[in-house]
Amino acid sequence: MTQPQHTGGRVNVLTKPEVIGTIEELRSRLIDAQSRIESERAGRGDDAGGTPRIVLVPTMGALHAGHLTLVRRARSLGEIVVVSIFVNPLQFGAGEDLGTYPRTLDADVAALAAEGVPFVFAPTSQVMYPDGDASTRVTAGTVGSLFEGAARPGHFDGMLTVVAKLFNIVGPDVAVFGQKDAQQVFLVERMLADLDFRTRIEVVPIVREDGGLALSSRNRALEPDQRAAARALSAGLADAASVAGQGAEVALQVAHARIDAEPLVKLDYLVVVDPRTFLPVRALHHGPARMLVAALVGHTRLIDNVALELP
Ligand code: PAF
């Protein structure tokens, strides 16, 4: 197994990240990495850096260019980067795609090696849920039952529960999330505040392919005609953002016109929310807002969002 190397105040690898499957081993590797960095600093007479920062990028694998953007941001934020890869059964409902969710660990590890990631935490379900389930769970509250939560009951409780576990396992100073999952970001931020976690989160803008489709591990299930049709989502959001100065109603009409014209796209919701509450905006709302969209294209559920500035 390739051992992480410490170069210039950062833990790096020459070839492959260390893929770690147990909580004990991960914790012990992180302690070692922190003390290696500290002693190297001390050797250089440099004690100004404080405790080396651990940065976590939580993922479910099937990594794409969007994830790699999160990883690059993570590397700029701290000395020790951990990428977790775990398809969390708790956040999938009955009849959802847990069984078919893409699992591509070898390719993921190769991609992370190219990014200089030292540690991949890839536990089994048995490691994460030794009793087969988590009887103690984090609840996502009212916002957790709206939008994605309405379509996927229990999804956000399962997501917050695994994120809380990962934060307790890894002890990151910072965790990096993608803006594509806007409701997830809102709920994680609220959990961190409500439960007094010391981790802070960094949110990275949505990465889009040519044509505007937001990158997602689920895009690989799209047939070529479905992929072309799915572009109506980002196009509708872009149209909406361009007329946001005329108000939320006009922005919604414009987005609907674009999305509803695409027969392969089955719209689930299109809504404008107040980013402070994640509830639908009221008539008098002005200032920052966010338009959210979710749709089925074939059997693939896609989500996207855009920031709006309402007059
Ligand atoms: O966004 C995801 O990939 C997942 O919801 C997360 C944050 C890794 C938790 O399983």
Alpha carbon nearest to ligand 1 atom 8, residue: 59
Same domain for 113 and 178, yes or no, is yes
Alpha carbon nearest to ligand 1 atom 5, residue: 159
What CATH number is given to the structural domain containing 236? 3.30.1300.10
Lowest mean pLDDT among 48-57, 135-144, 246-255, 287-296: 48-57
State the pLDDT confidence band at 3, using cuts at 50, 70 and 90: low
Distance 31 CA to ligand 1 centre (A): 25
Atom of ligand 1 nearest to the CA of 86: 10
Identify the domain boundary among 204, 232, 259: 204
Active site residues per annotation = 67
Same domain for 141 and 245, yes or no, is no
The answer to whether position 41 is within a domain reads: yes
Write 233-240 long-range contacts (CB < 8 A, 24+): 233/259, 233/265, 233/293, 233/295, 233/302, 233/304, 234/208, 234/304, 236/270, 236/293, 237/291, 237/293, 237/304, 237/305, 237/306, 238/212, 238/306, 240/291, 240/306, 240/308
Q: Are 30 and 170 in contact (CB under 8 A)?
A: yes
- Give 114's contacts (C-beta < 8 A, 6+ positions apart): none
Give the global pTM: 0.94
Mean pLDDT in the chain? Answer: 94
Q: Per-residue pLDDT tens for 40-94?
A: 998 888 877 788 899 999 999 999 999 999 999 999 999 999 999 999 999 999 9
What CATH number is given to the structural domain containing 151? 3.40.50.620
Same domain for 156 and 24, yes or no, is yes
State the pLDDT confidence band at 249, using cuts at 50, 70 and 90: very high
Q: Per-residue pLDDT tens for 111-136?
A: 999 999 999 999 999 999 999 988 89
At 12 the pLDDT is 55
Residue 19 backbone dihedrals phi, psi, to 5 degrees: -100, 115
At 49 the pLDDT is 74
Residue 93 backbone dihedrals phi, psi, to 5 degrees: -90, 170
Mean pLDDT confidence for 216-229: 96
At 220 the pLDDT is 93
Question: Residue 40: how many CB atoms within 10 A of its CB?
Answer: 15
Distance 60 CA to ligand 1 centre (A): 6
At 134 the pLDDT is 87
Alpha carbon nearest to ligand 1 atom 2, residue: 59
Q: Per-residue pLDDT tens for 159-198?
A: 999 999 999 999 999 999 999 999 999 999 999 999 999 9
Distance in angstroms (rounded) separating the CA atoms of residues 25 and 21? 8
At 1 the pLDDT is 43
Q: Are 86 and 60 in contact (CB under 8 A)?
A: yes
Identify the domain boundary among 169, 204, 239: 204
Is the pLDDT at 28 greater than 70? The verdict is: yes
* Domain assignment of residue 150, given as a range: 18-204
Tally of domains in the chain: 2
Same domain for 189 and 225, yes or no, is no
Percent of the chain, pLDDT > 90? Answer: 88
Distance in angstroms (rounded) separating the CA atoms of residues 37 and 32? 9
Report which DSSP code applies to 126: H
